[in-house]
Amino acid sequence: MDPVTLGWKLFVLGQNKTPLPNCPTCADAGPEHDREACDHLTCHGIYAATSDEDRWHQMMARFPEHPWAVRCGEVSGIVVIDAEGTPHPQNGLTGVDVLDDFENWTSFPLTRTELAAETPSGGIHLFYRYPGGVRSRNRVLPQVDIKSDGGYVVIPTIWTMKRRWLRKGEPAEPDPRLVDWLRTTRGRSTGGLAGPVGHADGYDFERFVREGCPGGMRDEFFNDLIFRLRKAGVDRAIAQMKVREAWKRCQQPDTGATWYLPWWNCEYKIEKVWRTVAPDPEPDDDQLQWARAVQVAELSKVGRVTLAPRGSR
């Protein structure tokens, strides 16, 4: 398995398997800062991923013995089915159990791929060629995620002793049924490409806006918030301020924990939604009132309360 010949975009992670923090300059940069074009070695999470071998060596020299990840989706030409090795709390099935019984879950057999890796939990990563139109989504089946645009997976290296390649061949072309499933199966979106399709028990958007989002619902809440802002016609810079404010208030685990929501993930969601979702041409009264309230509240913090007419944006 050679990332060079496969054209993968790789980046170094922190020891907790999450992206390294931004430098102070990038952390304070506004929406005009181009994350893809930023030449800082490890800033902006998945946007630091590169296929330039010289940059890989610079990352290795600066962060020896750190884990590495591949940025999934179109940029690397791969989509990964990620099956957890831990059991589901309700049905006791692992993601690997579910993939072993994939045809009963989906009505068609899972395409075999010759590139697969084992994870520390006893799970598995199955690598396929990216067919286009696939976004990252969590829990599309019990303990099974799709890692594609907006996602990444840790890859086995000499420093990740509990990870190993099970097969080192080429990623398979998913057959047409699997392609359709990858594109359309519903889960909890992590790519910010669409609006909510139903919410988990206990989800309360209005309360989370007021009080901060609790753990376990951060991804769901920020997808919802950003989608609503876009559909209501809120200016992007104002939307980014609103999302940043909500992000600072949301519940995050202690520093060093594996599961949290980094700011770059919110930035990715904003960028993706603004590129792929159009504002409602005729928003209803509630949307307009909400958009106006958001913009007035955010602009008042910086001493500007004049709103541009909707058609001028």
Question: Residue 103 falls within a domain, yes or no?
Answer: yes
User: Which pLDDT value is given to residue 291?
Assistant: 60
DSSP 46: G
Question: Residue 200 falls within a domain, yes or no?
Answer: no
User: Which pLDDT value is given to residue 47?
Assistant: 87
User: Which pLDDT value is given to residue 196?
Assistant: 37
Give the integer Cα–Cα distance in Å for 82 and 99.
Answer: 10
Same domain as 31, residue 146 = yes
Question: Residue 27 falls within a domain, yes or no?
Answer: yes
Same domain as 274, residue 153 = no
Question: Residue 194 falls within a domain, yes or no?
Answer: no
> Which pair of tokens denotes residue 208?
């989370």
Same domain as 182, residue 303 = no
Nearest to 8 by CA among 43, 55, 40, 42: 55
Name residue 208's amino acid.
F
DSSP 311: G
| Spans of the chain, pLDDT less than 50 | 188-198, 257-258, 298-299, 301-313
Same domain as 147, residue 245 = no
The number of distinct structural domains making up the chain is 2
3-state secondary structure of 263: helix
78-83 and 124-129 beta bridge pairing: antiparallel
For residue 161, count other CB atoms closer than 10 A to its CB.
Answer: 9
Question: Residue 87 falls within a domain, yes or no?
Answer: yes
User: Which pLDDT value is given to residue 287?
Assistant: 53
Same domain as 174, residue 142 = yes
User: Which pLDDT value is given to residue 199?
Assistant: 55
Q: Which domain holds residue 240?
A: 205-312
Same domain as 105, residue 179 = yes
3-state secondary structure of 45: helix
> Which pair of tokens denotes residue 283?
């928003």
Same domain as 65, residue 24 = yes
Question: Residue 198 falls within a domain, yes or no?
Answer: no
137 torsion bin: left (phi>0), alpha (psi -120 to 50), beta (else): beta
> Which pair of tokens denotes residue 124?
């598995």
Give Cβ neighbours of residue 203 (< 8 Å, ≥ 6 apart): 217, 220, 221
User: Which pLDDT value is given to residue 284?
Assistant: 55
Cα–Cα separations (whole angstroms), residue 293 to 232, 270, 298: 11, 19, 9
User: Which pLDDT value is given to residue 307?
Assistant: 35
Nearest to 121 by CA among 17, 253, 216: 17
Question: Residue 199 falls within a domain, yes or no?
Answer: no
User: Which pLDDT value is given to residue 305?
Assistant: 35
User: Which pLDDT value is given to residue 189?
Assistant: 41
Same domain as 20, residue 56 = yes
For residue 186, count other CB atoms closer than 10 A to its CB.
Answer: 11
Same domain as 174, residue 250 = no
| CA 115 distance to own-chain centroid | 22
What pTM was estimated for this model as a whole?
A: 0.65
Q: Are 221 and 213 in contact (CB under 8 A)?
A: yes
Q: Are 217 and 208 in contact (CB under 8 A)?
A: yes
Phi and psi at residue 126, to the nearest 5°: -110, 120
Question: Residue 193 falls within a domain, yes or no?
Answer: no
| Neighbour-count burial of 145, counting CB atoms closer than 10 A to its CB (0-12 exposed, 13-18 middle, 19+ buried) | buried
* Domain finish residue from 135, 154, 186: 186
H helix intervals, the chain: 3-6, 24-27, 53-62, 95-100, 102-106, 176-184, 205-211, 218-231, 236-249, 263-276, 285-301
Same domain as 128, residue 248 = no
* Domain finish residue from 136, 159, 186: 186
User: Which pLDDT value is given to residue 8?
Assistant: 92
Same domain as 153, residue 101 = yes
Nearest to 218 by CA among 302, 235, 226: 226
User: Which pLDDT value is given to residue 137?
Assistant: 85
Same domain as 135, residue 261 = no
